Amino acid sequence: MNRMTEGANVRLPLPPAMLVRLGELFGERLSTISAMREHHGRDASSYDPMPPDAVVFAESTEDVVALVRLCNEYQVPLIPFGSGTSLEGHVLALHGGISVDLSRMNRMLAIHAEDLTATVQTGVTRKQLNHEIKDSGLFFPIDPGADASIGGMAATRASGTNAVRYGSMRENTLALTVATADGRIIKTGTRARKSSAGYDLTRIFVGSEGTLGIITEVTVKLYAQPEAISAAVCSFQTIGDAVNALIQTIQLGVPVAGVELLDENGVRAINAHSKLTLPEQPLLLFEFHGSEHGVKEQAQTVQEVVAEHRATGFEWATRPEDRSRLWAARHDAYFALLQLRPGSRAISTDCCVPISRLAECILDTKADCEANGLVYSIIGHVGDGNFHTQMLVDPNSEADIARAEGVNARMVSRAIAMDGTCTGEHGVGLHKIDFLIEEHGDEAIATMRALKHAFDPKNIMNPGKIIRW
C-alpha cells in the first residue's frame, strides 16, 4: 500500500525491515537522530521544519541507486538534499520518508579545459568548482547568491546575478547522470555543445526539483575568465528612473555581465549591515566583463545612459577588493533585511516579467507592500526582468503571514497577466504549485502530471512538489 494520501501529509513510520536493510547498506551513514532529521527537514524558505524519518549520506551514484531501489520496493518517499539553500520548500519531507544528503558526492570527475566543460558529482558547490578551475583560466558563471550545489542548481534551474549575459542552468547544463525512480541509471546527453538526437532529457530533468529522478553527475559549460572586470554603482530618484535606464542599456546592446537593482529599503538594510554609506535611494549595481578597453567602453556608455535618467553618484570599482565589497553587500541583503525587524522571518518570493513591464510590476508590488504595512525590500537581477520581494513577518502571527502571502499572490498574478512567470529562478517547490496552474493552465499541467506518472509511477520522488499527484 502506498504510504501517501493525496491532499494530506500522511506520515507512517518506516518499516522495521527497511531500517534493518538501510543499516546494512549504509552503516554509520544512516541517521535517525532528531537533530539531523530536523536539519534536513528545513531549507531557506519560511516554512516550519518538516523532517524526514531518516537521513542517508550518499557518496556515489551506486549509493543513490541502491537507496532508490529500496525506497521503490517499500514505496517510501525519497527527498534529495544538497546544501539546503532552496527557497520554496523543496527539501521538506511532507510525508516523511528518507532524505538523501548528496553533499559528500563532491568529487571533480573531469575538467576538459580545451572544450570548456567540466563534469562533477552532484554535491560539488559552485565555489568549489570555481576554486578547482581558477588556475586553468576558466570560470563557471552561474551565481544564485548562496554557495549552492551544482546538482541542486540544475534541479531548480537556478540562475542569478550573471544570467543576463551567461544564461541560467538551462543553457549551461550539457548532460546529466540520473538515478530513475525504479533504480536505473541514465545519461541524458554528451559533452557536445549541441545535439538533435531524440528527446531533450537533459532539459526535462533540469528544473524537475527531484520529482522525476535524482541527479548524481552534471556536465556544465565553462567560460574563459575575462581579461578585465569592473563594477559600477549609481543611485536614482525613483525605481522608474532606474528601470528605464536599465532598459535603454539592454536595448543598446551593452553586454553587461550583471545588473542588480536594490530599492531604498534594501540599500538602507545593507548600509546598516555592511557598514556602507550608499544614498538610501533606488540603486543599480553593474558588472562588466571583457578586455581592458571593452570594459572601459561599456562603463562609459552606461554612465552616459544613466545620466539621462537622473542618476547620481556614478562610481566605478575596478579594484577586486572594492568589487568584492559591493557584491558581498548585495549577497548579504537577505540577512541585512532580517536585522530591520529582529525576531522576524522573511517570506522571500520572486517573479519575472518582460523587461518593458518591469517598472510597472515592481511599483505595483511596492505599493501593495506599503498598503499592507510590511517591512520589505525589492531586489532583482533586473537585466532579465527578474526581481525578488522579501517581506518580514512575525512567525507567530497568522495575520502577518496572511498579509505577506496576499502580496505574493497578487504579485504573481500581476506578473502572469503581463505574460511573465510565477518564478524566475526560485522554482516551484511547495509554495508555488497553485501559481503554476494559473500560469500554464489545466492542459499543460495535465501533461506535466503525465510525465510525473510515467517517470515516477509510485510517487516516491520528492512527492508534493511542483504538481499534485
Query: Dmax of the chain from CA atoms?
Result: 71
Answer for the pair 219, 176: CB distance below 8 angstroms, yes or no.
yes
pLDDT < 70 regions, the chain? 1-11
- Residue 330: per-residue pLDDT: 82
Q: According to the model, what pLDDT value does residue 8 have?
A: 43
Contact residues for 324 (Cβ-Cβ < 8 A; gap 6+): none
CATH class of the region 108-224: alpha beta
Domain 108-224 and domain 341-428 have a common topology: no
Set of cell numbers at residue 273: 549591515
Task: Tell me which CATH code domain 16-104 carries.
Answer: 3.30.43.10
Residues in the chain: 469
Which pLDDT score is estimated for 9? 52
Show me where the domains of the chain are located.
Answer: 16-104, 108-224, 228-334, 341-428
CATH code of the domain made up of 341-428: 3.30.70.2740
Q: Residues 157, 144: contact at Cβ < 8 Å?
A: no
pLDDT digits 0-9 by tens, 187-206: 999 999 999 999 999 999 99
Q: Which fold has domain 228-334?
A: Alpha-Beta Plaits (3.30.70)
pLDDT at 11: 64
pLDDT (tens digit per residue) in 224-265? 999 999 889 999 999 999 999 998 999 899 999 999 999 999
Residue where the block lists cell 531501489: 69
pLDDT of residue 318: 73
pLDDT score for 90: 95
Q: Which amino acid is at 342?
A: P
Cα separation, 439 vs 466, in Å, equals 13
